[in-house]
A and B are shown apart, each in its own frame.
Chain A
Amino acid sequence: MHLVIISCSPRAQKDSNTSKIIERFKAGFEKESHTTEVHYLFMKNTWASIREAFDRNEHILFAVPLFVECIPGIMLEFLETLKPKEYAHGAAKTKIGFILQGGFAEASQLRCGEQYLECLPEHLNCEYTGALIKGNMFVLGMLNDKGVKSLAAPFVDMGAYYGKHGVFPKDIVSEFAKPEYYSKTNIFFFTLLSPLQKLFFSLFARKRGCKASLNAKPYH
């Protein structure tokens, strides 16, 4: 199978958590002697060639960061430039799968976006092969290479799975995406240790050169 992977992050490839996930997924997918080509939406001047790749190929995977409960504006803008596919008589429909990653750790936070993705391929006259969802990916941007490799490692196995089966079954996705919600105990301890979370983010921001309070109200 030759898979066209389209990264739908607006971030440049080197800074993108979605790209890091794609790298790991691709490594697993190619284990099965499959091939891939990866395109990036953040460079709008390449959209014509991405459209061409979409039109020409039968297996597409959109890798998507969750933005405000659904897909990012840049992906919508690109999709609005696509035409629904047309097929020769008897030809199989193009298959579209998704990776949807978000910052919050709970899978339940990604379900609204997943629900939209379920119906999206039909609008393009394509077939839906499932959406692999996973939260807690914000931290990818805070880790070194070793940490990224470790956190994104499960995507290697899912890449191999997709290469073998060509679908993301719901039960396997739910297992992969756990936890659906945090337990009450976890919520209790998180709340108790909240000052540490604030300290961690403040120090991280200082390291990035931030001089203002993270609670600043510039438009007050």
Chain B
Amino acid sequence: MKQVMKYTIISTVTENNKEADAVISELSALETETDIIYTDNMSICGCAGCYDCWLKTPGICSIKDDHEQIFVKLLQSDRVIFIAEVKLGFVSYKMKNLLDRMLPILTIYLKFKNGQMRHYTRYKNRTDLGLLYIGNADAEYLAGWMERVAINFDSRSLGVYEIGNRKEFYHALGDH
């Protein structure tokens, strides 16, 4: 029996964004189990850089806010697709905060992988990450950045596409 892929779409743009809505309905129509999270009305702080999630309460973030439900959802998903605005040539802080807060996925323990130092991941499951962005950006740079983000979390990048090119993204999803 074919296993159904679990997707989570995390939209960090304001609700009722037409392009983001289109992505959500198009991806939901795929042969997948899809959850949708809108972060616009959630309370999510930036990472405090305290490293408590490594050294004091391993695996648990010291900040108690709505991020925990995103963290749990990410652990339960095969693939997470972010929708984010681009500001100053990079993803908006609203998306970056989500990723910065993913640190509890890693342990403090270190290893080498492909010639570079990495942290061991805390959990066995791997969640692949993709990004559809709104605005003007260097797509090649963002794609390279996402590749490196994925390597850190021992996962794979599903690619980075401007939201208008999302059909290419859907096509590429089938190749991964």
Contact = CB atoms under 8 A, between A and B. Distances in A.
Contacts of A147: none
B46 A73 contact: yes
A121 B89 CA distance: 11
Interface residues of B, number: 48
A219 B59 contact: yes
Contacts of A67: 47, 49, 96, 100
Given A76-B90, A201-B108, A104 B59 contact: no
Interface stretch (A24-32, A52-60, A92-100, A187-195): A187-195
A112 B48 contact: no
Query: Interface SS of chain B: helix, strand, loop or mixed?
Result: mixed
A75 to B, nearest CB: 8
Contact of B58 (A70, A182, A210): A210
B122 interface: yes
Contacts of A104: 116-117
Interface residues on A, range: 35 or more
B112 A182 contact: yes
A56 B59 CA distance: 43
Contacts of A16: 49
Interface of A: 9-11, 15-16, 65, 67-74, 76-77, 79-80, 104-106, 108-109, 112, 115-116, 119-120, 123-124, 141, 181-182, 187, 190-191, 194, 197-198, 201, 204-205, 208-210, 212-220
Given A104-B116, A210-B57, 11 more contacts: A11-B48, A67-B47, A70-B96, A76-B90, A115-B144, A120-B89, A141-B51, A190-B112, A194-B110, A194-B111, A217-B123
